[in-house]
Chains A and B, each alone.
Chain A
Amino acid sequence: MNTASGFIKAIESGSKHLIIKRFTFRYPEQKLKFVGDGYQFDPKRGVGIAGYRGRHILFHDKCTGCSLCSIACEGIAEAIGMVKVDENWKQNKKSIMPQIDYGKCVFCGLCVDACPFYALFMTDDYELSSFTKEHLIYTPQQLEVKPKYQGDVEIIIDDRGATHG
């Protein structure tokens, strides 16, 4: 290729982007929208349901304290420990439930795959930063709370290019 025309084409393709809306978005004013309500698993069919793998959600009325999630995590991150809770559930005789350390969790979601009672799922919430390590340890009571995460932007592609809008 001719040197001059090569330069002109390079400058032309770059300068086009001066008038195109930018692709980046303004986090944290804007947040990404995810599909579904987070990663879930159907033990009957043995297949997961697509969704974002963020912080877990624990259903106290379904957890039996079998500690399979903790066993699944053993060789991976060792983030799940079983702790005593002051609750009396019929299905949970031992009154133990998982407590998750997000300083260690790698969000692989294999604990969700291990749960046979639909008690442990994952949610869209990924904003878990804190000032101390202790605050990263989520007790069963904290895991029960539904997250307030609300995304508003996703990638939109039109003739003029791609933007987050």
Chain B
Amino acid sequence: MASLEEKIEETRRLGLQVVKETEEDRLMTLSVGPQHPGSGHFRFTVKVDGDYIVYCDPDPGYVHRGEEKMCEYRNIIQNIPHLERPVIHDSTNVTYSYSLAVEELMGIEVPRRGQFIRAIASELNRQVYTLYWLAIYGIFLGHSTMFMWPAGDRELFIDLLERLTGARVTHAFNIPGGVRNDMPEGFKQKCLEHINYYEKRLKEYEDIFYNNPLFRQRTEGVAPLSKEDAIKLGVTGSVLRASGVPYDIRKVEPYDVYNEIDFKVQYMKTGDSFARSYVPFLDMKESCHIVRRLLDKMPESGEVRTKLQPNPKGPPGESYKRVESGRGALGYHIVSDGTPKPYRVKISVGSFRNMLALPFLLVGQKLADMPAVYWSLNYWPVEADR
């Protein structure tokens, strides 16, 4: 093979004009997505200079469903099934936040046992979501065992939630005023049994995935996000905690019974892809302890739900409440004009805020590191588009 200089010399000798390539010509624009080559229903264009990404332009909106507008045409209870559709894997946390906002608006008190049950359901659902995310993260780094194991172990928690709520994925369990049904017989034993087994499995996850030198080499030091940048960009959840900010809504703005539960906020200081993928794992571990403590402190019997009027309507006003979901802060801002249907519902999701960090993180990285950065953001396209 002749070198470039030799080729140019050859061209000159033949009497042809040599066109020097400009900076723009060297760059190649690639479109990633939206047909799921590891991006979900989300598209972004990257410009690459050889192997390195020099520019990234996210283009969300492919799965916009108009959830916020739909809320204005349904009453408060009818809103529950469609609101959990954007993130069906984390459906309990979505309706949790919505219920809290409606309760604040209407001034409803939730019975103590009801508060514990929905906190337990929320923690179990966090496991389901994080395991699903971990499975995808594993497969896009080429680790197919890490796809199979979490996808299988998810079944442990789906089974528990199925006993508790009656549905495997879309639970529609939280309702303004509490939860829809009491715990079935023997749920506590079953829950502890599954969690004890699951904690043993988490040790195996660490051996095969997180402490695996192959995984570490692909993620350590990739796309670090500093503490200051993380705060400036407004990222939330595990991405923020990975950059060294111990910020968790369960600790900062405790809702329901979380102020009685003693737990640690899990965070790391490096802020690279490894930290962003390891913090959700630490959260899963901590979540197991939280479920145990919740089960210990839960009252043995009592009401679980405050009965509402058939077509509940609140006084005119507004409320905002947020919870810590699998992807960070998830808030609902509800404005009511005194009718059964909300006047306006605004959903503030963690996914969208984490996505904003993507253009900053991808620049300067190799194209092959793109999945390691993209999935570490804990981003769920359907939730971001709403």
Interface flags, A16-39, vs B, CB<8A=1, else 0:
100000011000000000111011
A-B pairs under 8 A by CB, number:
106
Closest to B145 in A: A14
Chain B residues whose CB sits within 8 angstroms of the CB of A53 once the complex forms: 166-167
- Given the known A-B contacts A10-B207, A46-B305, are A75 and B75 also in contact in the complex, defined by CB atoms under 8 Å? yes
Q: How many residues of A contact B (CB 8 A)?
A: 42
A154–B164 Cα distance when bound, in Å, is 15
- Given the known A-B contacts A110-B77, A155-B159, are A35 and B152 also in contact in the complex, defined by CB atoms under 8 Å? no
Interface flags, A105-124, vs B, CB<8A=1, else 0:
01111100100000000100
Q: Contact between B81 and A108 (Cβ–Cβ < 8 Å)?
A: yes
- Given the known A-B contacts A13-B207, A35-B184, are A76 and B152 also in contact in the complex, defined by CB atoms under 8 Å? no
CB distance from B110 to the nearest CB of A (A): 13
A23–B198 Cα distance when bound, in Å, is 13
B213 at the interface (CB under 8 A from A): yes
Chain A residues whose CB sits within 8 angstroms of the CB of B304 once the complex forms: 47
Q: Contact between B208 and A10 (Cβ–Cβ < 8 Å)?
A: yes
A113–B81 Cα distance when bound, in Å, is 14
Chain B residues whose CB sits within 8 angstroms of the CB of A109 once the complex forms: 166, 172, 180
A129 at the interface (CB under 8 A from B): no
A128 at the interface (CB under 8 A from B): no
A86 at the interface (CB under 8 A from B): no
B211 at the interface (CB under 8 A from A): yes
Chain A residues whose CB sits within 8 angstroms of the CB of B162 once the complex forms: 34, 52
Query: Which has the most chain B C-beta neighbours within 10 Å: A3, A53, A74?
Result: A53
Q: Contact between B166 and A10 (Cβ–Cβ < 8 Å)?
A: no
Q: Contact between B152 and A122 (Cβ–Cβ < 8 Å)?
A: no
Q: Contact between A162 and B197 (Cβ–Cβ < 8 Å)?
A: yes
Q: Contact between A49 and B181 (Cβ–Cβ < 8 Å)?
A: yes
CB distance from A57 to the nearest CB of B (A): 14
* CB contact between B180 and one of A9, A107, A113, A122 (< 8 Å): that residue: A113
A147 at the interface (CB under 8 A from B): no
A7 at the interface (CB under 8 A from B): yes
Interface flags, A66-85, vs B, CB<8A=1, else 0:
00000010111100000000
A75–B311 Cα distance when bound, in Å, is 13
Chain B residues whose CB sits within 8 angstroms of the CB of A154 once the complex forms: 159
Closest to B172 in A: A108
Q: Contact between A23 and B172 (Cβ–Cβ < 8 Å)?
A: no
Query: Which has the most chain A C-beta neighbours within 10 Å: B167, B185, B304?
Result: B167
B183 at the interface (CB under 8 A from A): yes
Closest to A2 in B: B213
Chain A residues whose CB sits within 8 angstroms of the CB of B155 once the complex forms: 23, 155
* CB contact between B211 and one of A10, A36, A75 (< 8 Å): that residue: A10
A35–B292 Cα distance when bound, in Å, is 22
Q: Contact between B181 and A48 (Cβ–Cβ < 8 Å)?
A: yes
Q: Contact between A13 and B204 (Cβ–Cβ < 8 Å)?
A: yes
CB distance from A44 to the nearest CB of B (A): 10
Chain A residues whose CB sits within 8 angstroms of the CB of B145 once the complex forms: 14
Closest to A164 in B: B155
20 additional A-B pairs beyond A6-B211, A6-B213, beta carbons within 8 Å, are: A1-B213, A6-B212, A6-B216, A13-B207, A14-B208, A34-B163, A35-B185, A38-B166, A50-B163, A50-B181, A51-B166, A75-B75, A107-B170, A108-B81, A108-B170, A110-B81, A113-B180, A154-B159, A155-B155, A157-B197
Task: List 22 contacting pairs A-B, 8 Å CB cutoff, sorted by A.
Answer: A3-B213, A6-B211, A6-B212, A6-B213, A9-B207, A9-B211, A10-B207, A10-B212, A14-B145, A16-B204, A23-B155, A35-B163, A47-B181, A47-B305, A50-B181, A53-B166, A72-B77, A75-B73, A75-B78, A107-B170, A110-B80, A157-B193
Closest 6 CB pairs of A and B: A48-B181, A75-B78, A75-B74, A46-B307, A13-B207, A50-B184
